[in-house]
Amino acid sequence: MMTSDHVSDLEPAVQAGDDPREFAHVLSAVHDAAMSGGRMPARPRTVIDDSWQRLRKAGLDPDADTAVERGLDVEELEERRRQSGLIDVVDELARGLDSLIADGDNILVIADARGHVLWRSGSSRVLNRADHLGFIEGADWAEASVGTNAIGTALMSGRSIQVFSAEHFVRSHHSWTCTGAPIKDPRTGDMLGVVDVSGPAATIHPTTLALVHAVARLAESQLREQHHRRLDCLRAVAAPILARSPGPALAVDVDGWVAAVDAVSPRSRLLLPRGVGPGRSFFGALGECDVEALPGGWLVRVADASDASTTRVSMRTVTTASGGECVEVSVEGASGGWTHRCSPRHGDILTFLARHRPGVTAAQMSTHLFGVDDRAVTVRAEMSRLRKRFGGLLMAGPYRFADGVEVRLHG
């Protein structure tokens, strides 16, 4: 399991048995001395001292009004959520930390790798208090924006951290405590974001840090398991297609992680060209390759100069075993094909796109599905699910089938 720090290395802001109120007074004196250049009555913890030094060098004002305005609009926020790599573990994080949120004194916040708040939950009482600090969805809580805090400082230090009272660089945050743990991509080690529990300073407890840290590690484990399951599913579909492939080929997911190979040297990941889609593309490791769509990924076949691959999509309405109807989508390439039966909603979307090959906007799709043009958020969510299934067959901006894909509608 990939971790940012070990449980034994965790350093709660307040130790068991300490009086938080008394300790807050000490920290306030330390903060005042540090900000004025005076002699500090005690040294702040190393992780806090490092943060304060970074912020003083950056010129951040500890007395600044940090009630940040929303940094992302609704559309940007939705896109950040989809691209964060965290959307599949939001529920897991909420369940794991429910005991800290249930009493109504704390809020749960999940931020991306840049410190933007993507999700938050908690009682209306504590959420209203957070609103006054600008601690809202879409806001930027990177360290450089709002000073020392468990989101931004966890991102900077790469470790789980608890920040209490006057350990916050900005004075307006001194009535708060926050505990954050970074979440990393278990495949690459890249930072995905931070899970944070925040509330009034009086709610601090030393065990909170260990719990938030443990839940973040479990989320990483869940991401790893989800990745393995997706590759297993892709491998099952790709195996018979690879067996029929006329030459060297690989099955990879949409990020290039390899599920299966045939007559190609083993590797864990293939670097995909920017904007890869069905057709012929140049891969630095393999040269010219023909790319065909697979459910949740690609078949990458080393090209024969005399053979250019074409991807064909056929859609037809079929009767299900229960007597209902659904749209069956068949995808065929030079190496074989696969079939997927869509839900009625997804079948409707794909049929609409097939009839509007130049593409449609989210508002246009909303009007088609719901009769009004203001359900764009729902449309984007549905398109995100479809694109996970059909990969680069579907494009965005506007939504459409990829160029070069032959699409046929049958009755």
How far is Cα 222 from Cα 133, in angstroms, rounded to an integer? 32
Mean pLDDT, residues 10-26 taken together = 92
Which of the four pLDDT bands, split at 50, 70 and 90, describes residue 1? very low
Which of the four pLDDT bands, split at 50, 70 and 90, describes residue 67? low
Q: How many CB atoms lie within 10 A of CB 48?
A: 25
Which of the four pLDDT bands, split at 50, 70 and 90, describes residue 74? confident
Which of the four pLDDT bands, split at 50, 70 and 90, describes residue 309? low
Closest Cα partner for 254 from 291, 302, 309?
Answer: 291
- Give pLDDT, residue 51: 98
Percentage of the chain with pLDDT > 90? 68
How far is Cα 309 from Cα 289, in angstroms, rounded to an integer? 9
Q: Is the pLDDT of residue 389 over 80?
A: yes
Backbone angles phi, psi at 5, to 5 degrees: -165, 165
- Give pLDDT, residue 2: 40
**DSSP summary character for residue 248:** -
- Give pLDDT, residue 5: 56
Q: Is the pLDDT of residue 45 over 90?
A: yes
Give the sign of the dihedral formed by CA 240, CA 241, CA 246, CA 249: negative
Highest mean pLDDT among 4-8, 227-231, 402-406 belongs to 227-231
Beta bridge partners of 77: none
How far is Cα 216 from Cα 259, in angstroms, rounded to an integer? 27
How far is Cα 313 from Cα 297, in angstroms, rounded to an integer? 16
How far is Cα 202 from Cα 194, in angstroms, rounded to an integer? 23
Q: Of 35-44, 127-136, 175-184, 308-317, give the lowest mean pLDDT range.
A: 308-317
Residue with tokens 């005042």: 32
Give the sign of the dihedral formed by CA 124, CA 125, CA 127, CA 131: positive
Q: Could you tell me which residue, 150 or 281, shows the higher pLDDT?
A: 150
> If you write DSSP's letter for every residue of 120-186 in order, what string do you get?
EEE-HHHHHHHHHTT--TT-B--HHHH-S-TTHHHHHH-S-EEEEGGGSSSGGGTTEEEEEEEEE-T
Mean pLDDT, residues 383-396 taken together = 84
- Give pLDDT, residue 3: 44
Q: Which residues contact 235 (CB under 8 A, 6 or more apart)?
A: 251, 259, 260
Measure Cα distances from 182 to 109, 187, 214, 313 in Å: 12, 15, 11, 42
> If you write DSSP's letter for every residue of 280-334 in order, what string do you get?
EEEETTTEEEEEEEETTEEEEEEPPTT-----EEEEEEEE-TTS-EEEEEEEEET
- Give pLDDT, residue 210: 97
What's the pTM? 0.81
How far is Cα 181 from Cα 6, in angstroms, rounded to an integer? 12
Q: Is the pLDDT of residue 144 over 90?
A: yes
- Give pLDDT, residue 410: 84
Highest mean pLDDT among 215-224, 271-280, 373-382 belongs to 215-224
| Contact in structure between 316 and 411 (CB atoms under 8 Å) | yes
| Contact in structure between 120 and 130 (CB atoms under 8 Å) | yes
Determine the length of the chain. 411
Mean pLDDT, residues 177-189 taken together = 97
> If you write DSSP's letter for every residue of 353-405 in order, what string do you get?
HHT-TT-B-HHHHHHHHHSSS--HHHHHHHHHHHHHHHGGGEETTTBEEPTT-
> If you write DSSP's letter for every residue of 173-234 in order, what string do you get?
GTTEEEEEEEEE-TTT--EEEEEEEEEEGGG--THHHHHHHHHHHHHHHHHHHHHHHHHHHH
Highest mean pLDDT among 157-171, 286-300, 342-356 belongs to 157-171
Residue with tokens 């069956």: 328
Render pLDDT for 346-388 as a digit per residue (tens, 0 to 9): 999 999 999 999 999 999 999 999 999 988 888 988 998 898 8
- Give pLDDT, residue 277: 85
How far is Cα 110 from Cα 94, in angstroms, rounded to an integer? 10
